A and B are shown apart, each in its own frame.
Chain A
Amino acid sequence: MTVAMGSLLIGLGLGVVVVRRRSVAIALVTTQALVLAAIALRQAGTASDTVAGLALVMRAVALGALFFVAVARSRERQPLRARVTPMVRAGLAVVLILIFTALVPAFGLPSRHAEPVELALVAAGLTCAVTRRSTLFQVLGIVLVENGLALAGIEAPHASSVIIELGVTLDLTLVVGVAALFHLRIFSEFGAGDSAALRSLRD
């Protein structure tokens, strides 16, 4: 993987952390997933690698469609204000990326750029899920984490399996599908896809 490609993937991830509009964030995550699929297909050496790459394409398209349907059915008068400002969110994501890169030892991917990119996407996803109030942004955080992990599958020699890739695609689509259902019910119950409304159960 080239430095430019890695930078593009991280930039798209950080974009999701800072942008305000849900539709823009969905476009960024979908683009990131398609870039990953393109890398996988370009590096595919066997038929099973190609199938695994196609699974990534399928996943990107399916999740993008699910997210856009969820947005279309839950129109907000104005975007939710997050608990923390975009600059602070970006700062938190960068700090978490540095912590991850410092703490996790090299795990032996052939491309020396791939490991920090993978960790950066996981860190960006965690930051997005934890700091955003919008329910859809929290799910986008999970997808960012999974995109980072997909990169490990692409870059590790023989580490990925078609069945595992297809399984992860199916699992992630199921999770996002269920999350979209919850988002729509939360929207109709509370008038907004706002996780701040989900804090009544406490001991």
Chain B
Amino acid sequence: MVVAAPLLTAAFVIVAPSKQLTVLARASAVATSALALVLVARAVKDAGHPLIGNWIVVDAAGALLLSVTAVVGLVSVLMSASYLQSAHSSFVADGHRDRVYYVVVFVFWAMLLAVPLAGNLGAAWLVVEATTATSALLVGFSGKAHALEAGWKYLILTSLGLGIALLGIAILAAGVPTGEVSGLAWGRLATFGSGRATALSAYLLIVVGLAAKIGWAPVHNWLPDAHSQAPPPVSALLSAALLPTVLLVAWRTERALAPLIGVSAAQRVLIGFGLVSLAVAVPFLWRPMAFKRLLAYSSLEHLGVMALGIGFGTPLALAGVALHIVGHAIAKALGFCAAIPLLAHEPRSARHAVSGIGRTAPALGATMGLSLGALSGLPPSPLFVSELLILAGGFESGRPWPAAIAAVLLALGFLGVAHATIDTLVGKAHRRNMTPLPGLRLVTGLGGVSMIVLVGLTAVAPWLSGSSFVAALVRGLP
């Protein structure tokens, strides 16, 4: 039902009257996210007993990503009308623009919702690959030269990455004794019988291939371009939902193959990707950069933090990962949604760094400040707490050096984003478009709700690592 609802909506959008598109999309988005959140509530309530089948799995980690994808998808659809109202160009003819946009968004959202529910590695790969085709169309949706470039890079690089991952999956499939799809079920990957060296090769191919889709450095080249050129609601879905959802596939693969290749070897790969991603992101966070591009490099940093947490693997670190995924999703979705009124207020912001938004549009400046402040890890942001938990988990797991290096890189990243936050709020202001800004009221309301949720997350963080939910994350799938 969770996956079928957005697919059905896409079908209805094709035949619905033009004037009803927005209402239909919004109503269906509310229904889809409600269905997903009901499933999440059941999974969290009974976190110790995941529902496991050959094709579908509902566990704690899946519930976490399902909730994020449901909420970010809802926000993206709600904000889409404001984007379409302010957009001037499109990949498709004007008469069909809104219809095509909503159809592709709902199909993309359906595939995203399917990833955390995929019960085996083969199915997970299929739905991840399906997100590529749909999201590439959305990245290039404006039809402008830069958007075409970004969409093309995204399509080619992630498809090649997923091809490499499929080679790893093919190697695993050849070595599992049960055969057919059940052999690729998460819990049965450990029955792989072709030896440790082959399993390690398969694991490396899968993780390196998925890294291209997750946006981990050094295979992240598409990420800043795609995030900056996609329509803002789509950027929110890409950054806050797609990247961590594909990360879940890498996480599950690591957990499934660790008994074969060794827990330490499996975790070291993720720690390596985490540190490299942080190291590559930090210099860019220090540079004056277009707002959406800054958010994209922030995604690189935060996905690196999540990789570190999963690599450390202790209850403290995994509590940090859970908190980080949710906090990052809220702050990043808010930031990308704020880009809709920002681009109308200051069109130069599409290509250049902005300053003094708080002076010329206080409500918009406050929303952007909240997003950037939370993403920088400024206390009381939950990302501050989650990063502390992950670093503490690193020391707890006996990996003081990676944790110490990450601490230094995070401090540098904080300074970079904090500087951008201050400049955005109270920097030098230029003459700007002061007409009513599209979506500003919705974004301001979203900012208020986000602030309450972010503070709430910080408040519950101290109890998280001892919870049954985190215990279920540590256990993984049986």
The yes or no verdict on A and B being binding partners is yes
A203 and B287 contact, CB distance less than 8 A:
yes
Q: Which of B28-36, B154-162, B422-430, B435-443 is the contact stretch?
A: B154-162
Query: Once bound together, how far apart are the Cα atoms of A141 and B137, in whole Å?
Result: 20
Pick 27 A–B contacts, CB within 8 A, sort by A.
Answer: A105-B195, A105-B201, A107-B194, A108-B174, A118-B167, A135-B152, A145-B160, A146-B163, A149-B167, A149-B170, A152-B171, A152-B174, A155-B174, A157-B179, A158-B179, A158-B183, A159-B180, A163-B181, A167-B122, A168-B126, A168-B166, A171-B133, A174-B134, A175-B133, A182-B148, A185-B148, A190-B145
CB-defined contacts of A105 to chain B, threshold 8 Å: 194-195, 197-198, 201
8 Å CB interface, B273-288 against A: 284, 287
B180 and A201 contact, CB distance less than 8 A:
no
B160 and A201 contact, CB distance less than 8 A:
no
Q: State the majority secondary structure of interface residues on B.
A: helix
CB-defined contacts of A122 to chain B, threshold 8 Å: 163-164, 167
8 Å CB interface, B155-204 against A: 155-156, 159-160, 163-164, 166-167, 170-171, 173-176, 179-181, 183, 193-195, 197-198, 201-202
Query: Once bound together, how far apart are the Cα atoms of A192 and B134, in whole Å?
Result: 24
Chain B residues bordering chain A, tally (CB within 8 A) = 55
Q: What's the least CB distance linking A185 to chain B, in Å?
A: 6
Q: Which of B152, B163, B195, B224 contacts A198 (CB 8 A)?
A: B152
Chain A residues bordering chain B, tally (CB within 8 A) = 53
Q: Total A-B residue pairs with C-beta atoms closer than 8 Å?
A: 149
Q: Give the B-binding residues of A (Cβ under 8 A).
A: 103-109, 118, 122, 125-126, 129, 135, 138-139, 141-142, 145-146, 148-149, 152-153, 155-161, 163-164, 167-168, 170-171, 174-175, 177-179, 181-182, 185-186, 189-190, 195, 198-201, 203
Q: What's the least CB distance linking A66 to chain B, in Å?
A: 13
Query: Once bound together, how far apart are the Cα atoms of A174 and B135, in whole Å?
Result: 12
B136 and A139 contact, CB distance less than 8 A:
no
Closest 6 CB pairs of A and B: A158-B179, A152-B170, A159-B173, A145-B163, A174-B133, A198-B149
Q: What's the least CB distance linking B218 to chain A, in Å?
A: 14
CB-defined contacts of A153 to chain B, threshold 8 Å: 170, 173
